[in-house]
Amino acid sequence: MERIGGFFLAISHETELIEGLKAALDEAKRKKHKILFSEVVEVDNISPLSFYQVGREQYIGERFFWQDPNKDIIIAGLGKVEKIQVSAADSRFMEVEASWTALIENAVKTGILEKEGTGPLLFGGFSFDHNKSNSLLWDQFGDNLFYIPAFMLSIVKGQAYLTTNLICSPEDHVQLFIKMINERDTLLSGSVNFGNGHHEIIEQREIAPEHWKYTVANTIEEIKGTDLKKLVLAREMRLIFNHSVLSEQVLQKLAVEQQTSFVFSLETGSDCFIGASPERLIKKTGNEMFSTCLAGSIARGKTKQEDDRLGYELLHDQKNLVEHQYVVSMIGEAMKSVCSSVNIPKAPALMKNRHIQHLYTPVKGMCNRFVSIFEMIEKLHPTPALGGLPKEKAVRRIREVEQLERGFYSGPIGWTDSYGNGEFAVAIRSALLQGKEASLFAGCGIVEDSTPEGEYNETSIKFKPMLSALGGNLHE
């Protein structure tokens, strides 16, 4: 057991906090609508995973976690002062942005300002396809789900910040402050206990692998005979455990094993969507934007020599280069439409993750005007790395032939702050945890030169990051 506390918020902070809160209450009364109040203070370094874990008792079902591969920004959020979930399915990106903008426009902020990844922050994601009817599996998530947390720990380039958010309504009283401080104190004096009760897998089952291969075979024929160039097809694996899975245990394992990936979780009700994705969709900091083209895959070698040989093979393999190039062209075009300059390396490099290596082309651009991260998500999602080419046809074919419900798998997941910075990953190498059960998802890009067996093996590798974190059998 380890104490999370060890830090005190100095009294001067509290005075500032009360003053800020009073200003927010006045503003709410004057405007006759609710106002978001947000305070940011520097704190001693606390482990974000400990913070997340300590919040289990009180905030389970309303927690999130985010860590980028560089560990530039790590965020753990607890509780929600506001949930954004829009119903206008076909304009969901812009609708979420509109709700968010309305909320932060009038926000009262105090303490440290303008720090990326702190203050009012929206965390959540979108499902892959808003047109696919939602099955029971994903009913807690809908086709978009975002939180503004009550308490949030951000580690930004090594420095820890604690954000406290509160919604003030015209009829609220300063008493609200007492409640919030009490909650925060309870949280910060909590004990970290990652739990010994480790879950074990009692059943590990691939869903309809033969049918999946059959669909891949048909898709290869369709690609040969029509204007369809690429289609990403996913399959599912189900796990059943003896105990409910604790998301903090899985996050901890992912953070250790998948150092080159974005590690994330998003809880809602009794469900948790969790994963370790190597693929950035979009990052925006100031007027710089970054995206990643990631497509084309091969296994890791058991020895350095074998690993190098496999990497070399991937870099020169025509099928994988074609699969990759579709993504580079599309992301390049999307970035050029809003950037004054775009940098795209001429040839892909290798990205080596623990269980797999990919062809990798990073893209960087300078925005030529104000462009929001939601506008970029709308332009990019789904890239041909997750959908296919041509885009609309691919999404429609996936809807028709894929047997599973993707839900948030392969959709955009991430955060934006009130200063317009943010980052979204593509939610792959992920799983939906539901008590004693989990659904894992893995897909791959089918092109003309694909084979059903080859693609089946590729998806088997892509299950490994989550399987390993959940204690599954990797068949190695």
Ligand X SMILES: C=C(O[C@@H]1C=C(C(=O)O)C=C[C@H]1O)C(=O)O
Binding-site residue numbers are: 323, 458
Fill in the amino acid letter for 365. G
Binding residue for ligand X, selected from 428, 431, 438, 467, defined by CB under 6 A = 428
Binding segment (CB under 5 A) for Mg ion, from list 4-12, 264-272, 311-319, 445-453: 445-453
**444 scored as a contact of ligand X (CB under 6 A):** yes
> Quick one: what does residue 153 bind among ligand X, Mg ion, none, with the CB cut-off 5 to 8 Å set by partner type?
none
Q: How far is the CB of 277 from ligand X (least distance, A)?
A: 8
Q: How many CB atoms lie within 10 A of CB 193?
A: 13
Binding residues for ligand X, rule CB under 6 A, total 18
**358 scored as a contact of ligand X (CB under 6 A):** yes
Measured CA to CA, the distance from residue 473 to residue 309 in angstroms comes to: 26
Q: How far is the CB of 458 from ligand X (least distance, A)?
A: 6
List the catalytic residue out of 80, 115, 229, 230.
230
By CB under 5 A, the residues from 278 to 297 that bind Mg ion are: 297
Beta bridge partners of 264: 66, 275
User: 216 vs 433, which CB is nearer to ligand X?
Assistant: 216
Measured CA to CA, the distance from residue 353 to residue 465 in angstroms comes to: 9
Measured CA to CA, the distance from residue 289 to residue 459 in angstroms comes to: 30
**236 scored as a contact of ligand X (CB under 6 A):** no
Catalytic residue at 213? Answer: no
Binding residue for ligand X, selected from 40, 429, 432, 440, defined by CB under 6 A = 429
Catalytic residue at 105? Answer: no
> Quick one: what does residue 414 bind among ligand X, Mg ion, none, with the CB cut-off 5 to 8 Å set by partner type?
none
Binding residues for Mg ion, rule CB under 5 A, total 3
Binding segment (CB under 5 A) for Mg ion, from list 8-16, 154-162, 189-197, 440-448: 440-448
**Which tokens in the block code for residue 121?**
């922050």
Measured CA to CA, the distance from residue 380 to residue 198 in angstroms comes to: 39
**445 scored as a contact of Mg ion (CB under 5 A):** yes
Binding segment (CB under 6 A) for ligand X, from list 97-105, 156-164, 253-261, 443-451: 443-451
String of contacts with ligand X for each residue 271-300, x by CB under 6 A: --------x--------------xxxx---
**Binding positions for Mg(2+):** 323, 458
The whole-angstrom distance between residue 210's C-alpha and the CA centroid of its chain comes to 30
**446 scored as a contact of Mg ion (CB under 5 A):** no
User: Which of the residues are catalytic?
Assistant: 230, 279
Binding footprint of ligand X on the chain (CB under 6 A): 232, 234, 279, 294-297, 358, 385-386, 410, 428-429, 442-445, 462
